Structure 1
Amino acid sequence: MSATSLRLWARRVLSPLCLALALAAPAAAAADVERGRYLVEALTACDNCHTPRGPDGYVREKRFSGGPQTFNGPNYSVRGPNISSDAASGIGVWSDDAVKAAIVAGIGPDGRLAPAMPSEYYRILTMRDLEAVVAYLREAAPVASARPEQRRDGEPRAETFPGAEAPFEEKALDDPLRRGFYVATLARCMECHSGETNGALDHREKLGAGGKLFRTPAGTAVGANITQHPTAGIGVWSDEEIKAAITKGVGRDGRPLKPTMANLSKAHFAKMTPQDLDALILWLRTIPPRGGP
């Protein structure tokens, strides 16, 4: 083939290929951002800790600029910080690796984050999903805010959630039962619904047994038993009744559930896809019956 013929061949074949690749890259990036949006808005509910609230719910124009509530523990007193793309008060100058470390390892630029950051539930994120979350956070508008006072004494131990010690492989999500566990873990169902032993969540002996106390401006609520116990739990609930509790915040009797479940249901879990919702219920059906709270 002559040099002239080679140039003509390259122009005909490679130019369309390069164009296709150029068009595919933004499409892939857009898909990643949309996946990140879904994970943040429907499952992990990042707004719950990182967005201010008003009388009508989240203050959208100040999204991710910091949450209103203070989290207290024996070694810490913190508020949800600014995770918008603001350079001074948010994570705008953090590297992607730094953002990932905060999400899945609970480690920030200044050291270990307080246990209020539930990284033990996020370690399960597939590599694709972790990158999608970061991509979505990068898209959030920068919102400046004052840095909340944070007190951390010592290095609190990073907990683990059984079965979520390492990232899932993408192919694991093809199994509905494994997908259900993945969804339940990212949504932190057992952070609210497992029982406690000596003041600490006991996922091994009291998984889903309920009993954890929640003190909110609306009053005190108790984490419900969501095991397969026929009377104390949800063993005799229909799938549709469980779906209504998760996505609409109503109990089996049709009455509204108390915060924080009522808030999370409407603001976040209502956005869950039918596939993820069905998988979640399938996994919940595997939780052995336990009495309580």
Structure 2
Amino acid sequence: MTRAALLQMTSGIDPAANARTLVEGVAQAAAGGAAMLFTPEMSGLLDRDRDRGAASLAHEDEDRVLAAVREAAARHGIWVHIGSLAVRRDAGKLANRGFVIDSSGGIRARYDKVHLFDVDLPSGESWRESNSYAPGEHAVAVQTPLGVLGLSICYDLRFPDLFRTLSDAGATILAVPAAFTRQTGAAHWHVLLRARAIEAAAFVIAAAQTGVHEDGRATYGHSLVVDSWGEVLLDQGEAAGIGFFEIDPARVEAARERVPVLRHRRAIPAAELL
């Protein structure tokens, strides 16, 4: 078994303050014996005021939050999955990009969120992620000390084809960093995460944003770790902070032997409308 940690955050509008929280989280995770730390979507900045937020955004190679976490990972000898940062792209729009950083501070993988959150909620909230962000185009899996990790971000959770692609690529762990709204979180968060774990017979690690943020939004929290049989191993509730858990590859093997869903998968042609 390998010990890991996740950081539940209430990210604000100041990247420097968020970076300090992340660096402290890296230190706490390493001190607690974790081989890898997972952080939420938009760990570096959460600001619905586009003009104000734009002043803090940079290209990846100039992003101070990313640089701070890479340095901390190297200093403490721990891997880090930054759930995502908002980074500038050459084409003008932004990317909602996750990073896997190794224990020397090197970037092992990048993933740009494929499915963008464009919705109008019954609560009156309206979100148009595509106004600022360009979607990613590729699924990404990467070898880590915990096993092969498949990457996703937040709204991707609702699209099981992505997770099938990741498990077909060998992923035994699925990362779902998020900033779920309270309304959608209460309705769907637990059931969707457990479903993805059961379908893929894989661990799911979902580090989440929580609480009321400086920009006025409220997020659901409840960072979860779910095992390959759908059992919830960790639920962080609503408090910000670090949680620890164990990843046991034998649990994946056992689940896939009990119900061999990966071996039984078949390509299904388009349905006929009769």
Band of TM-score, shorter chain: under 0.3
Structure whose alpha-carbon radius of gyration is higher: 1
Larger relative contact order (CA 8 Å, sep ≥ 6): 2
Q: Which TM-score applies when normalising by structure 2? A: 0.27
Q: Which TM-score applies when normalising by structure 1? A: 0.26
Higher percent of residues as helix: 1
Higher percent of residues as strand: 2
